Amino acid sequence: VAWAIVLLGQKLSEGKTKQIFELVDESGLVLVQSKDQITAGNAVRKDQMEGKAAIANKTTSCVFKLLQESGIKTAYVKQHSDTAFIAAHCEMIPIEWVCRRVATGSFLKRNPGVKEGFRFSPLKMEMFFKDDANNDPQWSEEQLLEAKFSLAGLTIGQCEVDIMNRSTVAIFEILEKSWATQNCTLVDMKIEFGVNVKTQEIVLADVIDNDSWRLWPAGDRSQQKDKQVYRDLKEVTPEAMQMVKRNFEWVSERVKLLLEHQAGGRVVVLMGSTSDVAHCEKIRKACTSYGIPCILRVTSAHKGPDETLRIKAEYEGDGIPTVFVAVAGRSNGLGPVMSGNTAYPVINCPPLTPDWGAQDVWSSLRMPSGLGCSTILSPEAAAQFAAQIFGLTDHLVWCKLRASMLNTWVSLKLADKKLQACSL
């Protein structure tokens, strides 16, 4: 691979695992460069591990790509080289957000009596102030509020804390769902947020790599593939380090698979007449935003039922999971006829008109017995429902739905904050 050349400006910071450089030609962006070493117990144990930076690079890149494509706001911009990526320049909020599904590690020490393996539903959230000198003390929400951090001109108040809390849960659920496709339990995770210096938005920043989570294949602690293996080493021998590295490689190989669709599906929109094509295009556009292929066909169950059933058979014949959407104005015969003759889901999405809509809708609602079609009036919502059906088996679709829910919640929160500020 030939990587692009960028002009590095000042080194903005250097930590235990990476260096951050300004980019001369791109204000607002930085280069995040991994260092070839692994640390544990606050760098007490520091060993060079050849190739580790490259593996970390791959893990971070894939995970951020997954989150980005799902719709989560992150600092990540693009891969730059084997060991570096370009990111939005952030002022980092000095908090580690920890999210747990299964109790293990330090949680057990701080909560004696809780057995390893206790499952948190809802997820357990904790935060730690990043302060190496004091071993990163656990903080309460109140402590964070009282600290009144101001970063890139944004004061971290209740609104910002709530956004980070909610985002952490959504990010965990997206990664958990994705790892489940590889039979891996995401046990816990720690992440950091920054304030984008250009947009003043709170975004997921820093990295997500092996150091950031515990992964148990098939939910089995003894097969763990994360950095705990390294922490647990009694003695750092070359053989032991090889094992840790093999584990790391195991994860970085699998992390690529997280970006692949589990089950291909499609939406087939049947319209009674081409006069409904604009309505159908809205459905197709929304399906595309979820990464679901969508095909439009014209057929009338009233005027050409043989054709309707032939088209149905065409899509039943190739084994691809299909959701049918029926778009028929006036009397909707199309959806009910489809629904009575296929085991695939059918969604009625009638294009209602102001004059007769209130009457016409009943042809989509009042069904003979034995029909399970649903009716959704908004074309975007019909596509969303189809996505929710595919999301049951395709994690990438599910992740987009999950991120969209978070983004809606954050937008409302910010709108409320803005309105409150105006009325003061």
Ligand X SMILES: *[C@@H]1O[C@H](CO)[C@@H](O)[C@H](O)[C@H]1NC(C)=O
Ligand Y SMILES: Nc1ncnc2c1ncn2[C@@H]1O[C@H](COP(=O)(O)OP(=O)(O)OP(=O)(O)O)[C@@H](O)[C@H]1O
**Residue ranges binding ligand Y (CB under 6 A):** 13, 15-18, 20, 30, 32, 75, 87-90, 92, 130, 194, 205-206
Give whichever of 135 and 369 is closer to ligand Y, judged by the CB atom.
Answer: 135
Nearer to ligand Y, 13 or 111 (CB): 13
Residues sharing a CB contact under 8 Å with residue 145, sequence separation 6 or more, in sequence order:
156, 157, 158, 161
Q: Which does 47 bind (CB under 5 to 8 A by kind): ligand X, ligand Y, none?
A: none
Give the shortest CB-56-to-ligand Y separation in angstroms. Answer: 11
Task: Return the one option of ligand Y, ligand X, none that residue 13 interacts with (CB less than 5 to 8 A, by type).
Answer: ligand Y
| CA-closest candidate to residue 267, choices 314, 320, 341 | 320
205 binds, among ligand X, ligand Y, none (CB under 5 to 8 A by kind): ligand Y
Q: Measured between alpha carbons, how far is 236 from 233 in angstroms, rounded to an integer?
A: 6
What are the Cα distances from residue 80, in Å, to 4, 77, 84? 7, 9, 5
Region of 123-131, 288-296, 339-347, 364-372 interacting with ligand X (CB under 6 A): 123-131
Distance between CA atoms of 397 and 177, rounded to whole angstroms?
11
Long-range contacts, 221-229 (Cβ 8 Å, 24+): 221/104, 221/116, 225/184, 225/250, 225/251, 226/251, 227/38, 227/40, 228/105
The encoded tokens of residue 163 equal 């956004």
Nearest CA to 189 out of 110, 57, 97, 255 is that of 97
Residue 128, interface with ligand X (CB under 6 A)? Answer: no
Instruction: For ligand Y, give the closer residue by CB, 32 or 323.
Output: 32
Q: Write the interaction track for ligand X spanning residues 169-208; mark x where CB under 6 A is met and - where it is not.
A: -------------xx-------------------------
Closest distance to ligand X from the beta carbon of 120 (Å): 11
Q: Which of residues 148-167 bind ligand X (CB under 6 A)?
A: 165
Would you count residue 74 as binding ligand X (CB under 6 A)? no
In the complex with ligand X, which residue's Cβ is closer, 37 or 388? 37
- Shortest distance in whole angstroms from residue 113 CB to ligand X: 20
Taking the C-alpha atoms of 237, 239, 245 and 251 in order, what is their torsion angle to the nearest 10 degrees? -120
59 binds ligand X (CB under 6 A): yes
**DSSP bridge partners of 195:** 91, 202
| Alpha-carbon separation of residue 110 from 106, 123, 181 (angstroms) | 6, 17, 32
List 69, 136, 249, 380, residue binding ligand X (CB under 6 A): 249
In 293-392, DSSP assigns E strands to: 294-298, 322-327, 346-348, 374-375
CA neighbor of 82 nearest in space, from 58, 50, 108, 109 = 58
Alpha-carbon separation of residue 359 from 248, 352, 355 (angstroms): 62, 9, 9
The smaller minimum CB distance to ligand Y, of residues 15 and 137, is found at 15
Q: Taking CB within 5 to 8 Å according to partner kind, which of ligand Y, ligand X, none is near residue 182? A: ligand X
- Compute the least distance from the CB of residue 52 to ligand X, in Å: 5
Site for ligand X in 332-361 (CB under 6 A): none
DSSP line for 14-35: E-SSEEEEEESS-TTEEEEEE-
Query: Which C-beta is closer to ligand Y: that of 194 or that of 379?
Result: 194
- How many residues touch ligand X (CB under 6 A)? 30
Residue 225 touching ligand X (CB under 6 A): yes
| β-pairing verdict for 322-327 and 266-271 | parallel
For residue 52, the partner it binds in ligand X, ligand Y, none, with Cβ less than 5 to 8 A by kind, is ligand X
Q: Are 215 and 186 in contact (CB under 8 A)?
A: yes
Chain residues binding ligand X by CB under 6 A are 52, 54-59, 61-62, 79, 82, 125-127, 141, 165, 182-183, 209-211, 225-227, 247-252
